[in-house]
A and B are shown apart, each in its own frame.
Chain A
């Protein structure tokens, strides 16, 4: 999906009008820019806390439930919920700190 978001950004710059998606998972266009900034913030999070960043990927990008995430990562659901809350707040703050891309 991020590839698509990047592709989309590239297309926007080159003046392409419409973008369609190959995939079942699709984001509305308004969110694309957010998703890109989120990805960049997520990469920063990965440097500080790789496990938490992996959790975000599973939960948010792969769309897994708390239970599924817990199973995949081999941690308790309570831990998933705690880490998820923290990651969300951390990422939002990071995203706000980073100005949106100049288009």
Chain B
């Protein structure tokens, strides 16, 4: 393949091969090898030489593998039982490292979170202890597990949690190409974890896609209970400082109106954030993405502007993807908007109710958030029992058709009966008069037959009959 990086022409894969081979040789042996391998191809030669010149620097920039950050004295150190491998995250208060248990025979990776030394303060310390206590209370497959914690030699607190390799939930949904149903199933699992935390009197208070990682196996894990609040009274002394208004989440994208205005945070605040997350998962967009120029503008939108229906948003933002908008219209619009109501008391009464509605939607039951008109419930019923409803419809149609046939036949029979009676009367009256002139035996026969016939008809009709009245 010709290289388009510059004007020179050389074989790209050949350059890669010679570069790799050269790297395996000691620096002093390289010139000889290159001269031999490149022969007369001077473009190829200069390409490989220039790559080799950049090679050492490359390692410095790229590090061993994933993104390296500025030199951190913690990397390579041993903290408690753990050997710190590299930095993997930088939060508002702490640095997260990838670490492994130093005494283990098998390599067990963990995440070790330490307070950023430059931010170390009573406040950070409290927040740290808070997270540690919070996590210690929780034991759920979809919530990151606390494994250990302690204080470094320098006196900085740290905590150790299980290490989750995964993508934030929004990116996971994108990269895995989940459809609406799969997204809802994943979200339903997540709601289970949040509800569990609420049952243990923990409000997360900072739910956002970045705090919800999904493993390659598709398991969502809730993390960063850094500003979670324990509603349990015995812990409240520790958390009091965190409820001050200056402790608002740093990114208000998923914050509820009451968080923006500094009102008390309750479980319904988490429900709101989850509503925004669901909105974003379903439409691929943040509901207020056009109002995010400043935190103030966003805060205003969160508190005052009613979000657009997810289906409308989807339709507007991707005119080609109408299918998505159609899937969202109705129930999902209602569910998302109910979770995102401005007034906490008008949202779902709990995350459990929220998850119940997702479950109902997935199973085809009427969702509770909707006003349940008879038509809506019927259409849901039909949707749930498509096969049996089709059977019933078929049966009904069948009955109707056969009744119709019976009615038609009855009418025809009655008409025939009337015709016959008319005919018999004609024979007995009119024809009889005509035949009076002669042919007596024929008249007698006709008369007898006529009477016989009329009698039979009268009997079938089961009642006294006009035809018999002529006698």
Contacts and interface: CB of A to CB of B under 8 A. Distances in A.
B20 A24 contact: no
Contacts of A83: 16
B329 interface: no
B355 to A, nearest CB: 24
B51 A47 contact: no
B208 A22 contact: yes
Contacts of A86: 16, 19-20, 51
Interface of chain A, main secondary structure: helix
Contacts of B89: 23-26
B246 to A, nearest CB: 14
A28 B90 contact: yes
Contacts of A1: 67
Contacts of B23: 85
B52 A49 contact: no
Interface residues of B, number: 40
A46 to B, nearest CB: 11
B65 A60 contact: yes
A48 interface: yes
Interface stretch (B53-61, B305-313, B402-410): B53-61
A97 to B, nearest CB: 9
Given A22-B208, A88-B62, A92-B61, A28 B251 contact: no
Given A23-B210, A85-B19, A85-B23, 8 more contacts: A22-B210, A24-B210, A24-B213, A26-B89, A30-B70, A60-B62, A65-B65, A94-B5
28 contacts: A21-B210, A22-B253, A23-B210, A24-B213, A27-B67, A27-B90, A28-B90, A31-B69, A31-B70, A34-B61, A44-B5, A47-B4, A59-B66, A60-B62, A60-B65, A64-B66, A65-B65, A85-B19, A85-B20, A85-B23, A85-B55, A85-B58, A86-B16, A88-B58, A88-B61, A89-B54, A90-B5, A96-B54
